[in-house]
């Protein structure tokens, strides 16, 4: 294996490393360039500060990007809410169920690149990043063609699962107009992981900011001023997502990524089955998380006065979504840090990065929840003019605040799993905690105990708590030396021979 100065030569015996790059201490592997064990408080805070700088260099722009992109749909919902309750319910149902389903699939399958691009970049194999992105495009666009069926038949599907006929009809019409957004997802998510692995996140943030400003203006113009209603909402939302995609492609094709992008290659059509399996595992893992709260919106539609229930839940999910975008930014940062350090053969650095980001996101979650509780009488008015909906949102705010604290940590732990390549294991954990425990418990509390929306949401939140505890235990018990060895083997098998010994570009 070439470029031995970048990482140790690892063989199948995880307790051994190449003599020039590691040594045995108490049966573990020591890697050159890794941090020393932290056994003093002063050293902990010093290393905490150093790692925080690296994480927030990535997380800051990533959080901003996530907030801007999520806000596109949220702003569309806000303008639709001022047109009427039916329009808000239709946009909410399409965003949460139809687009939410597809978003989970596309984001999940694209997240395979966080493992592959991150570890390849850490090992200095820049040439493979563009190949990985192109393979992901092939797989995601093929998947998008299949998902088009879901959009075309959205109305009968929503009626089949028991949604009110009026809401189903409006949401189905809106869904057909939103098919271009689906293909924007299939191009955008691989691009995002490709750029994140190289820490080129600031350009994504700037493009997303411009898109958000334009989206806000044209949403007001078409939906409110010109009275285009749902058609105007769809046209603006589609256009905003494709603006992001095209601007990022122009940036990449301009040669700004060096060896990471050398043009289109037939290699993108090799190893597709192995790539598909990892993409599918990533999709299942993240879809089970994204769909979990989509289910909450669906069951809200089965309660008495469904328009009010769906509207109130969609507002809460919007707020929760914005705050989760903070955690998703941290998720992206920790995925990059863990995969880069494992790829470079620095397991202790990977482990310490996890400690830093979990502490940081927990504190952020507490701060956001406190602000939300203080403003509980005011923020619902931004989304709706209905007094009844505002009152229900106010009632749900304490539960929303608790969920925010939990969900600020949970995506970060999922990011660790992605960075280390544990997607398949976490998928099983999610099935058990979410759908075999949390969801049934929520239905019992909501319907059998007559607690309504609060009961359904409370049971589902308990499921999230259980899943977070299991992920925390998995992370705590991880043998990071073994994960570094696995990363090295994955790069060797999928990456092919190194073309340069220069290592990652700075």
Share of the chain above pLDDT 90, in %: 13
Residue 135 pLDDT > 50: yes
In this predicted model, which residue has the larger pLDDT, 354 or 416?
A: 354
Structure-token match 């400690």, residue found: 355
Contact assessment for residue 271 and residue 116, using Cβ atoms and an 8 Å cutoff:
no
Model pTM above 0.75: no
**In this predicted model, what pLDDT tens digit does every residue of 435-477 receive, in sequence order?**
889 889 988 888 888 887 788 888 888 988 888 888 888 777 7
**Which DSSP category does 265 fall into?**
-
Tens digit of pLDDT for each residue in 355-401? 788 888 888 889 989 988 998 888 888 777 788 888 888 888 888 88
**Rounded mean pLDDT, 61-83:** 82
Per-residue pLDDT, 252: 92
Distance CA 7, CA 42 (A): 29
> Contact 461/399 with Cβ under 8 angstroms?
yes
Predicted pLDDT of residue 181: 93
pLDDT for res 427 = 75
Average pLDDT for 74-95: 79
Q: What pLDDT, in 10s, does the model give residues 215-256?
A: 999 999 988 888 888 888 889 999 999 999 999 999 999 988
Under the banding of pLDDT at 50, 70 and 90, the label for residue 42 is low
Please enumerate in sequence order all residues whose Cβ is within 8 A of that of 374, keeping only pairs 6 or more positions apart, or say none: none
Neighbours of 433 (CB within 10 A): 23
Instruction: Name, in order, each residue with C-beta under 8 angstroms of 361's C-beta and a sequence gap of 6 or more.
Output: 326, 327, 330, 408, 409, 412
Token reading at 261:
């992008």
Give Cα separations from 268 to 102, 195, 294, 415 (angstroms).
Answer: 23, 18, 34, 25
């Amino acid at each position: 294996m070439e470029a031995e100065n970048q990482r140790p030569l690892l063989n199948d015996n995880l307790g051994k490393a190449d003599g020039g790059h590691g040594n045995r201490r108490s049966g573990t592997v020591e890697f050159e360039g890794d941090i020393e064990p932290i056994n003093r408080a002063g050293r902990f805070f010093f290393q905490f500060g150093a790692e925080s700088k690296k994480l927030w260099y990535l997380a800051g722009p990533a959080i901003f990007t996530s907030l801007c992109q999520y806000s596109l749909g949220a702003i569309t919902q806000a303008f639709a809410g001022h047109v009427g309750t039916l329009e808000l319910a239709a946009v909410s149902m399409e965003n949460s169920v139809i687009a939410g389903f597809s978003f989970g699939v596309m984001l999940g399958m694209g997240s395979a690149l966080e493992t592959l691009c991150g570890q390849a970049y850490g090992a200095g194999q820049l040439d493979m990043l563009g190949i990985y992105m192109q393979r992901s495009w092939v797989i995601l666009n093929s998947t998008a063609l299949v998902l088009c069926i879901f959009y075309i038949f959205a109305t009968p599907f929503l009626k089949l699962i028991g949604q009110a006929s009026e809401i189903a009809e409006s949401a189905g019409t809106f869904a057909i107009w939103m098919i271009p957004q689906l293909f924007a997802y299939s191009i955008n998510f691989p691009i995002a992981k490709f750029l994140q692995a190289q820490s080129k996140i600031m350009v994504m943030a700037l493009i997303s900011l411009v898109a958000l400003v334009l989206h806000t203006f044209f949403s007001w113009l078409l939906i409110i001023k010109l009275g285009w209603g749902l058609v105007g909402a769809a046209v603006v939302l589609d256009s905003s997502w494709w603006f992001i995609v095209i601007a990022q492609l122009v940036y990449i094709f301009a040669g700004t990524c060096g060896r990471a992008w050398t043009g289109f290659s037939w290699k993108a059509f090799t190893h597709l089955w192995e790539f598909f399996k990892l993409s599918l595992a990533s999709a299942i893992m993240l879809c089970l998380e994204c769909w979990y709260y989509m289910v909450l919106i669906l069951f809200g539609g089965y309660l008495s006065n469904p328009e009010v229930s769906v509207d109130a839940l969609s507002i809460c999910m919007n707020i929760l979504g914005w705050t989760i975008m903070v955690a998703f930014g941290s998720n992206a940062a920790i995925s990059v840090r863990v995969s880069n350090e494992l790829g470079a053969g620095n397991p202790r650095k990977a482990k310490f990065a996890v400690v830093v980001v979990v502490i940081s996101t927990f504190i952020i979650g507490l701060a956001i929840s406190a602000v939300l509780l203080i403003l509980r009488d005011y923020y619902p008015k931004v989304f709706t003019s209905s007094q009844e909906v505002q009152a229900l949102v106010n009632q749900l705010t304490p539960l929303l605040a608790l969920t925010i604290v939990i969900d600020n940590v949970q995506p970060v732990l999922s990011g660790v799993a992605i960075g280390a390549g544990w997607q398949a294991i976490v998928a099983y954990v999610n099935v058990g905690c979410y759908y075999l425990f949390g969801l049934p418990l929520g239905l019992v509390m909501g319907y059998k105990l007559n607690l309504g929306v609060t009961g359904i949401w409370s049971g589902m939140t308990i499921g999230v708590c259980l899943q977070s505890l299991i992920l925390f235990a998995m992370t705590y018990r991880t043998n990071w030396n073994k994960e570094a060895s696995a990363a090295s083997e994955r790069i060797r098998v999928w990456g092919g021979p190194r073309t340069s010994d220069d290592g990652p570009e700075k």
